[in-house]
Amino acid sequence: MPSKKPLDRQVVVITGASSGIGLASARMAAERGAKIVLAARNAGALTEIRHEIEQAGGEALPIVTDVTDRAQVEALARATIDRFGRIDTWVNDAGLSIFGRIEEVSLEDHRRLFETNFWGLVHGSLASLPHLKRSRGTLINLGSVASDVAFPLQGMYCASKHAIKGFTDALRIELEEEGADVAVTLIKPAAIDTPFAENAKNYTGRAPKLPPPVYRTEEVAEAILHAAENPRRDIYVGGAGRIMSAAQAVAPRTFDRIGRTMIGQQLQDKPATHRDGALYAPREGGNVKGGHPGYVMRRSLYTRASLHPLTTAAVVAGMGFAAASLLNGPRHR
């Protein structure tokens, strides 16, 4: 895909910008000269982030937005055009999870998760497209390794990420057939050290965590900003996620058996707190990092290599070998 304009000439809209990946991306993009539109439910956090960016010499516009409400997302797009005159990159990052067995989670909570993760992303995509067509811009959707594989205890989260992949891929094809010069990228992070677990609703009674390996939030932000300037169809963040996707594609039943171990890997040996999470109301914002109790990898060599075409083939071959090793491992016990 052809490169887009450099970040210091872009207007970038980011949903879910009050914490985690959205916040890390906003800070990093502002440091590189982009004009940033911050969208989230937490008005206080957005005001503080705007002040921080402006103190550093950047420019940011905070817009309180609940992505489950199409009218609010349309208003976000209009406010961006009113202020800056265009949208160059739109990042659909807002999302959350629920820890609990599918049968135990209420239908109301299942629906609310889908309204946020899937329909919030659909609202953002459709609201931004007329403007991105004019600017020849980029749409970046946050999927997950869970767009390819499924994990127990986060079943509806995985379902929403599978739906995001289907929607994003179909939209990309339609835009290409139309001849629209809009790049569409799906970002697929593995486990990332954001407030993800703390913001999830929790049915388990034990404090949740993400299965290792866990990567630093800034690795995803780097991938997002790379896509804003150099569009890619898909970007995996974390070699572990790419291995899991490859293993599931090659031997799904074997991967199912391996996946059973992830129940224990997602629960800590201490009681849960803040069990309602941020499903219906925002929690404290302003945090890029989460409270992961284990080691956090500073960088993903796979992701950094895959963003440079000359090294991609070698890296993918290595991922295939690792996936085969993962699938063969249990047989030698």
pLDDT, one tens digit per residue, over 221-269 is: 999 999 999 999 999 999 877 887 887 788 788 778 877 888 999 999 9
| pLDDT for 319 | 52
Ramachandran assignment for 49, one of left (phi > 0), alpha (psi -120 to 50 degrees), beta (any other): alpha
223 lies in a domain? yes
CATH number of the domain where residue 182 is located: 3.40.50.720
Query: pLDDT tier at 132 (50, 70, 90 boundaries)?
Result: very high
Mean pLDDT calculated for residue range 55-69: 98
71 lies in a domain? yes
What is the total count of domains within the chain?
1
- Catalytic (active-site) positions: 157
Q: Does the pLDDT value for residue 314 go beyond 60?
A: no
115 lies in a domain? yes
296 lies in a domain? yes
Query: pLDDT tier at 167 (50, 70, 90 boundaries)?
Result: very high
333 lies in a domain? no
Mean pLDDT calculated for residue range 112-124: 98
| pLDDT for 219 | 96
Query: pLDDT tier at 318 (50, 70, 90 boundaries)?
Result: low
Mean pLDDT calculated for residue range 53-75: 98
Query: Can you give the residue range of the structural domain that contains 299?
Result: 7-327
64 lies in a domain? yes
Q: Does the pLDDT value for residue 333 go beyond 70?
A: no
pTM beyond 0.75, yes or no:
yes
Mean pLDDT over the full length of the chain: 91
108 lies in a domain? yes
12 lies in a domain? yes
Identify any residues that bridge with 192 across adjacent strands, giving them in sequence order: 215
| pLDDT tens, position by position, 295-306 | 998 888 788 888
